[in-house]
Structure 1
Amino acid sequence: MRSKLAFIGLGVMGSPMAINLLQSSYTVVGWNRTPNRPLVEKAAQAGVQIFPTIADAVKDADFIFICVSDVEDVKAVIFGEGGIADNAKSNALIVDFSTIGTTAARDISAQLQPRNLRFMDAPVSGGDIGAQKGTLTIMVGGDKADFDQCLPLLQTMGKKIVYCGTVGNGQAVKLCNQVLCAVHMVALCEAMQVAEQLDLDPNLMIEVCSSGAAGSWALSNLGAKIAESDFAPGFMIKHILKDLRLVQESLADTDINLPGVKLSDRLFKIVQDMGGSEQGTQAMIRAYKESSM
Structure 2
Amino acid sequence: MESTDMNQQIAFIGLGVMGGPMAANLAREGYAVKAWNRTPNRPGVEVAAEAGVTVVSSIREAVASADVIFSCVSDVPDVKEVLLGTGGVAESARPGTLVIDTSTIGPEAAREIGTQLQQHNLRFLDAPISGGDIGAKNGTLTIMVGGEAKDFEESKPLLEVLGKTIRLCGPMGSGQAVKLCNQVLGAVHAVALCEAMQLAQQQDIDPNLIVEVCSTGAAGSWALSNLGPKIAASDFQPGFMIKHILKDLRLVQETLNSSPQELPGVELADRLFKMVQEFDSGKGGEQGTQAMIRAYRKS
TM-score norm. by structure 2 comes to: 0.96
Asked if 1:226 corresponds to 2:231, the answer is yes
Asked if 1:272 corresponds to 2:277, the answer is yes
Match of 2:290 in 1: 282
Match of 1:39 in 2: 44
Asked if 1:132 corresponds to 2:142, the answer is no
Match of 1:161 in 2: 166
Question: Match for 1:12 among 14, 17, 20?
Answer: 17
Match of 2:69 in 1: 64
Distance 1:181 1:223 in 2: 13
**What secondary structure sits across from 2:286 in the alignment?**
coil
Asked if 1:26 corresponds to 2:47, the answer is no
**What secondary structure sits across from 1:155 in the alignment?**
helix
In structure 1, runs of 5+ residues without a counterpart are none
Deviates more, 1:35-44 or 1:229-238: 35-44
Distance 1:284 1:136 in 2: 23
Contact 2:236 2:288 (8 Å CA) reproduced: yes
Distance 2:63 2:25 in 1: 19
In structure 2, runs of 5+ residues without a counterpart are none
Match of 2:187 in 1: 182
Deviation at 1:206, TM superposition (A): 1.1
Deviation at 1:42, TM superposition (A): 2.2
Distance 1:150 1:22 in 2: 16
CA deviation profile, 1:232-255 (whole Å, cap 9, x unmatched): 000000000000000000110100
Distance 1:42 1:217 in 2: 25
Contact 2:28 2:52 (8 Å CA) reproduced: no
Distance 1:63 1:205 in 2: 44
CA deviation profile, 1:11-70 (whole Å, cap 9, x unmatched): 100000001101111110100001121221221122110110000100110000000000
One-letter code aligned to 2:238: P
Match of 2:215 in 1: 210
Asked if 1:236 corresponds to 2:241, the answer is yes
One-letter code aligned to 2:285: S
**What secondary structure sits across from 2:218 in the alignment?**
coil
One-letter code aligned to 1:209: C
Distance 1:190 1:230 in 2: 17
One-letter code aligned to 1:241: L
TM-score norm. by structure 1 comes to: 0.98
Deviation at 1:225, TM superposition (A): 0.3
Distance 1:39 1:243 in 2: 22
Match of 2:149 in 1: 144
One-letter code aligned to 1:65: F
Asked if 1:88 corresponds to 2:96, the answer is no
**What secondary structure sits across from 2:145 in the alignment?**
strand
Distance 2:191 2:175 in 1: 25
One-letter code aligned to 1:285: I
CA deviation profile, 1:134-171 (whole Å, cap 9, x unmatched): 00000000000000000000000000001101000000
Match of 1:103 in 2: 108
Distance 1:145 1:164 in 2: 13
Distance 1:114 1:83 in 2: 15
Distance 1:39 1:141 in 2: 26
Q: Which runs of 4+ in 1 moved over 3 A?
A: none
Asked if 1:258 corresponds to 2:263, the answer is yes
Paired residue total: 291
